[in-house]
Amino acid sequence: MEGARAMTLNVDHLAKQFSKNGQETVESLIDINLEVKDEEFVCILGPSGCGKTTLLRIVAGLEHPTSGTVKIDTTLIDRPNQKLGMIFQDYSLYPWRTVNENIAFGLELHDVPKEKRDSIVKKYITLAGLSEFGNSYPHELSGGMRQRVAVVRALAVEPTVLLMDEPFGALDAQTRNMLQNELLDIWQKTKKTILFVTHSVDEAVFLADRIVVLTPRPGRVCEIIHIDQVRPRDRTSVEFAKVRRHVLDLINQKCSLQ
Amino acid sequence: MKMMNLTVIALVAIALVLMTAGCTQPAQTTNSTVGILYSKGVGPMPMLLATHQIDGYIAWQPFVSIGSESLIGKVVAYSGQLPPDNSNVNHPCCILFARDDVLTQNPDLVTAVSALTQVSSRYINEHPAEAAELEADFLVGKGNFTYGNVTVSSVNVLNDAFPTVRYTNEPSPDWVNGTKRFVNTQIQLGYVTDKLKNATADQLDARLFAFGPYQNAKQQIASGAIKTPPKASKQITIGYLNGDMHSAALHIALKKWQYFNDTYGVALKPRDATQTRPEIADLIVNGVPVAEIKLVGGDAGPQVMQMAATDVVQMGYVGVPPTIAAIDKGIPVKIINPVNTEGSGLVVDANAPVSDWKSFIAWAQQRSLEGKPLKIAAPGKGSIQDVMLQYALKDSGITFKETS
Amino acid sequence: MNRIFLKLASVQRRSFLKILLPVAIIVAWEVLAIVLNNQFILPSLQSVFAVLLNPTADILGNGNLVDNAIISLERVIAGFLVAAVIAIPLGIWMGRSEIVHELFDSVMQLLRPIPPLAWVPLALAWFKIGLVSMVFIIGMGAFFPILLNTLDGVKGVKKTWIETAEILGAKEHQILSRVILPGAAPTIWTGLRVGFGIAWMCVVAAEMMPGTNSGLGYLIMSSYNWGQVPVIIAGMIVIGIIGVGFDYLFKMVDRRLFAWRELER
């Protein structure tokens, strides 16, 4: 990870159609173009059903586009790739494994020797602030704690890009805010590129360098907004409210039209 | 005047019509019926009788003796006494059969088994008390039977039963005729419909019997030397009926193998002497083990014949009617020789107003009139007991139908 | 009565309830036996206990209760293991591949409702008399619960679990061993528990086949053949106790290893 290798994630003319009952085709995404630069924090914002989760899954290599490509630098992404880590909304922790064992999962898959594994796990569990819970099971943890484990589990195999699908959607407002701050913290420490899907304007404005606003189905890129505000951003500031207003207007007007 | 004449004629005509109508009406017949219940095997019969779910049962020994010894029932008639009068004395009962392929491939083996059966039967006839004890051991480890509040010793039961079974192996002309009478009976009852139904006399003989091995064995026993058969290429399975003492010759042979080995040079030596009913034995002739024999008990004759059809057993001791029915269906077996005659009986509830067949029929008619026809249990459709009962009832003018 | 009951601690309460019904049954049995006074309809408790409390006494030349119970157990375990060894991999395969599932599905649905006893004549004809045909019958009993539960468990593995593994770089065999198997394990274990129970029920059916000379099922049939009702009931009780015992063992393992399943919900 050293060196000035600036990675670029490119989404080119991506489209996705589903066939319903084998006859009708439903268009989910139309002509998505996106360039994500190294260490960027990009949010994909849109109403339910606009295809943002589908877009993320295609970027992750879990689904195939009907047309168009996803590339990291020159590598075509058509199947899951270790450079792209993913965090699901339901955390998807393995309930039969302890926290330590969950974090170690990816390392086990690649036969990383035990000693090295243990030290990596220790590093990341500390990053998550959960050092005392190494031997606990996911069902013994709160929602927020589980999500932290999910994040560091993905980080343990050192992906370049983190894909996050509404990861804080199931949490209460307080925990969500706390985790948003922690995420920014981890992002700044680990210098990952993050592609973050959400339907919450507040969340997007708080977290992102850029916000990609999608139209309702079929999802198109309506607008891409740059947010220059310095972090940590103050949710109560006038600046913040202005940006929020702007984004909301976009969603309600320009981006809700086909 | 004319009106009157017409009326009279009309009335007379009507009267005539009514009268002739009355005459041509069929007379009322009372059909007495008995229900036959097929319980799989004879085991449940004493129980069914004791709980009054049946009124009687016809079974092979020792279940007739069990019925009377345990005071649950009393004997109406032994099978030799069943009508049609005198036709059932010495009636064929159980036989030894062998599959055609065994007969072709190793006839001397079948001869040896027949020889062993013959010398064992002789032993039974000469030592009935010892045979009773050995048979009680084979069947139930000489244990006691508890029926309700009565406990009977199996040895006592067998002692009571043995005299009612005739152990004989000679396919005399009488016996052969008796067997052929069974064929006719079964044809009438609809149990024989195919290969034996329209067979000529010669065809019948050829299809049913293969007495060669028996005759050879008889000669060899008389001359004091049994011919050693070639070693069997694979295991031979011999079937017999569970809880049935008609095949006592087989059982005694197993229990007293050493005696038969020393006296006649033919023996069935169990591999595991501790088993009450040995499963594997060696057929030893003149000191040479010539075959590994597996012994399998079946619940009823038809079941054993089904196993013969699928080559699960190659020889067996079963009743004549199941064998006849099997041959009729095309199962490739032949009757080698008889192993016993008679040895079954009809038992009714201890409190029934019956002392012999005549009073039994009267009772059947009475109960039929009352609308509660008798229920008699028989082991398995097509078994010899079933066939004999049906024929006897028919002869006495009673109809029967299967019941549950 | 209620007051005493409420005063007991919760654990004691549950134990009390558990033994209440069996005790009531025993009492009712004794009373009925005396009233009916018919050993065939209801043998007295003593006669049954006489058999149970003498488990090493020979019964009608068939050996004793203990030996026969062990023989039955050996057979059931053999049949059960054969069924498991075939059903679990097949279930996993069917669960992972839609094509394989479709291929086997119609045949499975056809065979499933057939009671193991119906297979006896065929088993005898194919495998002759002996352990193989018995293992076949017992195995047929255990097979479908194990197969269907395995299938169910595999299909029930969360898609995101599998996708997480794929993203982290797992190969197919690793997905199988580290996600599918542990994820499906609780359901598979339930299938094994149910399958064993059914296999154990098949003991009587399997040991009814001709040529069987031993085992609890045979003991019961033989006693039936001689009308010895107390032995039949004693045999039934032993079968019941062993069945309960094994079910309890399965449940204990489930509690220990698969606690996470309940708490996941």
Per-residue pLDDT tens over the stretch B78-100: 988 888 877 788 888 999 999 99
- Answer yes or no: do A139 and C264 touch at CB < 8 A: yes
Of A60, A82, A139, the CB nearest to C169: A82
For chain C, the maximum distance between any two Cα atoms, rounded to a whole number of angstroms, is 74
- What are the start-end ranges of the H helices in C112-210? 120-127, 131-155, 159-167, 172-175, 181-206
Please state the rounded mean pLDDT for residues A4-29. 84
Find how far residue C9's CA is from the centre of its chain.
33
- Answer yes or no: do A96 and C166 touch at CB < 8 A: no
Report the alpha-carbon distance of residue B84 to residue B65 in Å, rounded. 23
Chain C residue closest in CA terms to A106: C168
Report the alpha-carbon distance of residue B52 to residue C185 in Å, rounded. 53
Q: Which residues of B30-41 are buried (b: 16+ CB within 10 A; e: fewer)?
A: eebbbbbbbbeb
Spatial strand order of the sheet with A24-37 comes to: A24-37, A8-20, A67-72, A75-76
The residue among C200 and C124 whose pLDDT is bigger is C200
Highest mean pLDDT among B39-53, B137-151, C139-153: C139-153
Strand pairing partners for B153?
B144
- Compute the C-alpha angle C173/C175/C179, nearest 5°: 135
**Which residues of C fall below an 8 Å CB-CB distance to B?**
38-41, 47, 58-62, 121, 124-125, 128-129, 210-211, 213, 222, 224-230
Q: Across the B/C interface, how many CB contacts are shorter than 8 Å?
A: 86
How confident is residue B145, by pLDDT bands cut at 50, 70 and 90?
Answer: confident
Please state the rounded mean pLDDT for residues B27-41. 73
Q: Are B97 and B347 in contact (CB under 8 A)?
A: no
Structure-token match 């109508």, residue found: B21
Q: DSSP label at B209?
A: B
Report the alpha-carbon distance of residue A226 to residue A121 in Å, rounded. 36
pLDDT at B215: 96
How confident is residue A27, by pLDDT bands cut at 50, 70 and 90?
Answer: confident
Q: What is the mean pLDDT of chain C?
A: 88
Q: What is the mean pLDDT of chain A?
A: 90
Contacts of C216 (CB under 8 A, 6+ apart): C65, C68, C69, C71, C72, C203, C204, C207, C235, C238, C239
Q: Tell me which chain C residues have a C-beta less than 8 angstroms from the C-beta of A86.
A: 163-164, 167
Answer yes or no: is pLDDT of B24 > 60: no
Backbone angles phi, psi at B85, to 5 degrees: -50, 135
pLDDT, tens digit, 9 for 90 and up, residues B308-344: 999 999 999 999 989 999 999 999 999 999 999 988 9
How confident is residue B301, by pLDDT bands cut at 50, 70 and 90?
Answer: confident
Share of chain C above pLDDT 70, in %: 94
How confident is residue A162, by pLDDT bands cut at 50, 70 and 90?
Answer: very high
Q: Are A34 and A191 in contact (CB under 8 A)?
A: no
Of C169, C183, C264, the CB nearest to A157: C169
The Cβ of residue A170 has, within 10 Å, a number of other Cβ atoms equal to 15
The residue among C11 and B18 whose pLDDT is bigger is C11
How confident is residue C249, by pLDDT bands cut at 50, 70 and 90?
Answer: very high
Backbone angles phi, psi at A179, to 5 degrees: -70, -35
pLDDT at A100: 95
Six-digit token string for A158: 């050192």
Backbone angles phi, psi at B36, to 5 degrees: -110, 125
Nearest to B388 by CA among B339, B335, B341: B341
pLDDT at B138: 93
Six-digit token string for A203: 């969340």
Please state the rounded mean pLDDT for residues A107-124. 94
Chain C residue closest in CA terms to B146: C228
What are C52-58's contacts with CB under 8 Å, separation 24+?
C52/C234, C52/C237, C52/C238, C58/B141, C58/B143
**Which residues of C fall below an 8 Å CB-CB distance to A?**
158, 160-161, 163-171, 174, 178-179, 182-183, 185, 260-261, 263-264
Contacts of A98 (CB under 8 A, 6+ apart): A134, A135, A136, A137
Closest chain B C-alpha to C39 CA, distance in angstroms: 4
pLDDT at B182: 86
pLDDT, tens digit, 9 for 90 and up, residues C161-212: 999 999 999 999 999 999 999 999 999 999 999 999 999 988 877 887 777 8
Among the residue ranges A71-80, B101-110, B301-310, C45-54, the one predicted with the least confidence is C45-54
Of A85, A92, A108, the CB nearest to C158: A92
Helices B173-189 + B320-329 axis angle, to 10: 60
Share of chain B above pLDDT 90, in %: 57
Q: Are C83 and C142 in contact (CB under 8 A)?
A: yes
pLDDT at B169: 94
Among the residue ranges A85-89, A115-119, A212-216, C203-207, the one predicted with the least confidence is C203-207
Q: Which residues of A81-108 are buried (b: 16+ CB within 10 A; e: fewer)?
A: bebbbbbbbbbbbbbbbbbbbbbbbbbb
How confident is residue C1, by pLDDT bands cut at 50, 70 and 90?
Answer: low
Q: Are C197 and C76 in contact (CB under 8 A)?
A: no
The residue type found at C263 is L
Q: Are B70 and B147 in contact (CB under 8 A)?
A: yes
The residue among A225 and B243 whose pLDDT is bigger is A225
Closest chain A C-alpha to C144 CA, distance in angstroms: 26
Reduce the DSSP state of residue C150 to 3 states and report it: helix
Closest chain A C-alpha to C180 CA, distance in angstroms: 11
Structure-token match 């168009």, residue found: A68
Among the residue ranges A135-139, B210-214, B357-361, C7-11, the one predicted with the least confidence is C7-11
How confident is residue C125, by pLDDT bands cut at 50, 70 and 90?
Answer: confident
Report the alpha-carbon distance of residue B83 to residue B389 in Å, rounded. 9
Answer yes or no: is pLDDT of A58 > 90: yes
Report the alpha-carbon distance of residue C98 to residue C211 in Å, rounded. 43
pLDDT, tens digit, 9 for 90 and up, residues A206-240: 999 999 999 888 888 988 999 988 888 888 999 89
Among the residue ranges A22-26, A65-69, A187-191, B152-156, the one predicted with the least confidence is A22-26
Answer yes or no: is pLDDT of C220 > 60: yes
On the 0-12 / 13-18 / 19+ scale of CB atoms within 10 A, C23 is exposed
The residue type found at B182 is F
For chain B, the maximum distance between any two Cα atoms, rounded to a whole number of angstroms, is 114
Of B140, B141, B312, the CB nearest to C125: B312
Six-digit token string for C212: 């069987």
List for chain B the helix, strand, coil content (%; round to 5). Answer: 45, 25, 30
Cα(first)–Cα(last) distance of chain C, in Å? 38
Backbone angles phi, psi at A20, to 5 degrees: -100, 125
pLDDT, tens digit, 9 for 90 and up, residues B254-287: 999 999 999 999 999 999 988 899 999 999 999 9
Contacts of A250 (CB under 8 A, 6+ apart): A213, A222, A223, A225
Question: Prior bond to A218 cis, omega within 30?
Answer: yes
- Answer yes or no: do B145 and C228 touch at CB < 8 A: yes
Question: Prior bond to A232 cis, omega within 30?
Answer: yes
pLDDT at B1: 57
- Answer yes or no: do C38 and B51 touch at CB < 8 A: yes
Report the alpha-carbon distance of residue C214 to residue B64 in Å, rounded. 26
Report the alpha-carbon distance of residue C46 to residue C232 in Å, rounded. 14
Strand pairing partners for B375?
B35
C-alpha to C-alpha distances, B293 to B267, B301, C61, nearest whole angstrom: 11, 20, 21
pLDDT, tens digit, 9 for 90 and up, residues B155-197: 999 999 998 999 999 999 989 998 998 898 888 888 888 888 8
Question: Prior bond to C43 cis, omega within 30?
Answer: no
pLDDT, tens digit, 9 for 90 and up, residues B48-79: 888 888 999 999 889 999 999 888 899 999 98
Structure-token match 């086990």, residue found: A108
Find how far residue B272's CA is from the centre of its chain.
30
pLDDT, tens digit, 9 for 90 and up, residues A177-213: 999 999 999 999 988 999 999 989 999 999 999 999 9
Share of chain A above pLDDT 70, in %: 97
Q: Tell me which chain B residues have a C-beta less than 8 angstroms from the C-beta of C40.
A: 47, 50-51, 147-148
Nearest to B69 by CA among B133, B130, B160: B160
pLDDT at A1: 46
Contacts of B87 (CB under 8 A, 6+ apart): B181
Answer yes or no: is pLDDT of B2 > 90: no
- What are the start-end ranges of the H helices in C37-130? 45-52, 65-96, 98-111, 120-127
Q: DSSP label at B65?
A: H
